[in-house]
Amino acid sequence: MGKRFDDASAQVGVAIVGAGPAGLVLGNLLLDRGVDCVVLERRERAAVVGRARAGFLAPGAVETLTRNGLGDGLLERGRTHRTCRFRGEHGEFTLDYSRAGRREAHTVYPQQDLVRDLLSAFVERGGDIRFAAPVREVTRGTVRLHDGGEVRARYVAGCDGHRGVTRAALTARGTRTARWDHGVTWLAVLAAAGPSMPAVGYALHERGFAGHMARTDTVTRYYLQVPRGTDPADWSDDRIWTELATRMRTAEHGPLRTGAVLERAAVDLRCDVLERPGADRLWLAGDAAGLISPSAAKGANLAVVQAATLAPALAAALAHGDSKGLDRYADDCLPRVWRAHEFSHWMSGLLHGPVGHTPEARYGRALQYARLESLRTSRAHQDHFAESYTGI
């Protein structure tokens, strides 16, 4: 068992702020390397394991998790997805991306299930995790909590998201941020309804984008493009299902399986990347290091890969004073981060055409459909799409 952070005389090797995929993968990999660490999470345990988030895991993330003994649950209960379906005014087509590019597929595994698995593994390895422990301030290896307690650590790993305390602490030192706003907002809907198609579905419509993302036999995630500033409370269940039926053209392609709406939230599609995700004794992973729009489902995958890159670098620095891994952390991660952002940016342009009937809107949607037709007919385009869609 590692040192407990409530022992005032103790100094842990790494204090990890945040118990999402990045923080829990990092914590497990550090424990495997004999590094004392503590995870500090601002929310209660029930909120952590119950929050429904993305569930699309790319082959690289799956391989990283399974290689480190963290993939039993997703291998047993995850589902393989090989295709995605596009709908528009000219009909629909299905792209089997597992037969293009590197011939790889996704594993669909709800993120809350992954977090539950990672948390169980961390506790089984003797990890120290504290829930309902919001962090107030991070300064040179000292993490101060809102309740007046503090944790002293040789390193702090920030995995508390893009609005977290650790990112604020790093940017206060002058770390620059590259930022982009797609100008698009999604109404994210979680419905107690089984999937209505065997694939991820992307629907292009003059009223805006609609998306269908299967999660389990009884739960499906949907997205609707809505105006910026939309209040989710204005969208009743009936309004949501009516709009989804219109944009997904159910009159042509068959009805949706409907059910109670479990969650609805407005998500602004914004991105940013820190030009250097750490310095000195503070290092970031996951959304804390860079926020990516959900249009290509890359966020959790980047978090896993960044955590797996940061863990050996921190372990080497702690065990041998070898900082080469930390010095390379940005160079090792950022090329993959930017490639993921480039594809996410491209996907956003494909999915979100202009709304309305002005000449400019008609022109923009014609370009949108030209891109889609190229994807339907060009094998070279399909190979690039598949490699980017399943890659990190």
Annotation marks residue 155 as catalytic: no
What confidence score (pLDDT) does residue 216 get? 84
pTM across the whole model: 0.93
Do 166 and 312 have their domain in common?
Answer: yes
pLDDT tens sequence across 133-187: 999 999 988 999 999 999 999 999 999 999 999 999 999 988 999 999 999 999 9
pLDDT tens sequence across 281-319: 999 999 999 999 999 999 999 999 999 999 999 999 999
Among the candidates 322, 346, 370, a domain finishes at 346
Kindly state whether residue 390 falls inside one of the protein's structural domains: no
CB 213 within 8 A of CB 221: yes
Task: Please check the confidence at residue 371 and state whether its pLDDT lies above 70.
Answer: yes
Number of Cβ within a 10 Å radius of residue 103: 14
Q: Which domain holds residue 237?
A: 182-269+356-378
Do 174 and 191 have their domain in common?
Answer: no
Task: Please check the confidence at residue 8 and state whether its pLDDT lies above 50.
Answer: no
CATH number at residue 64: 3.50.50.60
Could you tell me the pLDDT band of residue 10, with boundaries at 50, 70 and 90?
low
Average per-residue pLDDT for the chain: 94
Could you tell me the pLDDT band of residue 356, with boundaries at 50, 70 and 90?
confident
Which of 97, 222, 223, 389 is labelled catalytic?
389
Annotation marks residue 222 as catalytic: no
Do 259 and 196 have their domain in common?
Answer: yes
What confidence score (pLDDT) does residue 50 get? 80
Kindly state whether residue 96 falls inside one of the protein's structural domains: no
Annotation marks residue 81 as catalytic: yes
What confidence score (pLDDT) does residue 357 get? 87
Q: How many percent of the chain have pLDDT more than 70? A: 97
Could you tell me the pLDDT band of residue 5, with boundaries at 50, 70 and 90?
very low
What confidence score (pLDDT) does residue 199 get? 80
Do 25 and 49 have their domain in common?
Answer: yes
Handedness of CA 151, 155, 161, 164 (dihedral sign): positive
Could you tell me the pLDDT band of residue 9, with boundaries at 50, 70 and 90?
very low
Per-residue pLDDT, averaged over 30-35, amounts to 97
What confidence score (pLDDT) does residue 1 get? 38
The set of residues, in sequence order, having a beta carbon less than 8 Å from that of 172 and lying 6+ positions away, is: none
Q: Strands 150-158 and 142-145, how do they pair?
A: antiparallel
pLDDT tens sequence across 162-177: 999 999 999 998 899 9
Could you tell me the pLDDT band of residue 198, with boundaries at 50, 70 and 90?
confident
What confidence score (pLDDT) does residue 4 get? 46
The set of residues, in sequence order, having a beta carbon less than 8 Å from that of 34 and lying 6+ positions away, is: 315, 319
Task: Please check the confidence at residue 2 and state whether its pLDDT lies above 50.
Answer: no
What confidence score (pLDDT) does residue 386 get? 97
Residue 257, CA distances (Å) to 107, 195, 241 in order:
23, 7, 10
Do 277 and 303 have their domain in common?
Answer: yes
Sequence letter at residue 371:
R
Please state the separation of Cα 101 from the chain's center in Å: 23
d(CA 269, CA 274): 17
The DSSP string of 304-347 is HHHHHHHHHHHHHHHHH---HHHHHHHHHHHHHHHHHHHHHHHH
Do 228 and 325 have their domain in common?
Answer: no
Sequence letter at residue 196:
S
Which of 109, 155, 202, 329 is labelled catalytic?
202
Per-residue pLDDT, averaged over 190-198, amounts to 94
Per-residue pLDDT, averaged over 101-120, amounts to 95
Do 114 and 189 have their domain in common?
Answer: no
Kindly state whether residue 97 falls inside one of the protein's structural domains: no
Let me know how long the chain is. 392
Which of 21, 81, 109, 277 is labelled catalytic?
81
Please state the separation of Cα 318 from the chain's center in Å: 29
Q: What are phi and psi of 82, to 5 degrees?
A: -115, -10
CATH number at residue 372: 3.30.9.10
Task: Please check the confidence at residue 129 and state whether its pLDDT lies above 90.
Answer: yes
Annotation marks residue 202 as catalytic: yes
Do 319 and 194 have their domain in common?
Answer: no
Which of 205, 223, 294, 329 is labelled catalytic?
294
Annotation marks residue 277 as catalytic: no
Question: What is the number of domains present in the chain?
Answer: 2
Do 145 and 54 have their domain in common?
Answer: yes
Kindly state whether residue 86 falls inside one of the protein's structural domains: no
Kindly state whether residue 94 falls inside one of the protein's structural domains: no
Do 138 and 25 have their domain in common?
Answer: yes
Per-residue pLDDT, averaged over 197-206, amounts to 92
Which of 106, 162, 212, 298 is labelled catalytic?
298
Q: How many percent of the chain have pLDDT more than 90? A: 89
Do 160 and 43 have their domain in common?
Answer: yes
Task: Please check the confidence at residue 265 and state whether its pLDDT lies above 80.
Answer: yes
Kindly state whether residue 98 falls inside one of the protein's structural domains: no
Do 158 and 196 have their domain in common?
Answer: no
Residue 104 is given by DSSP the state -
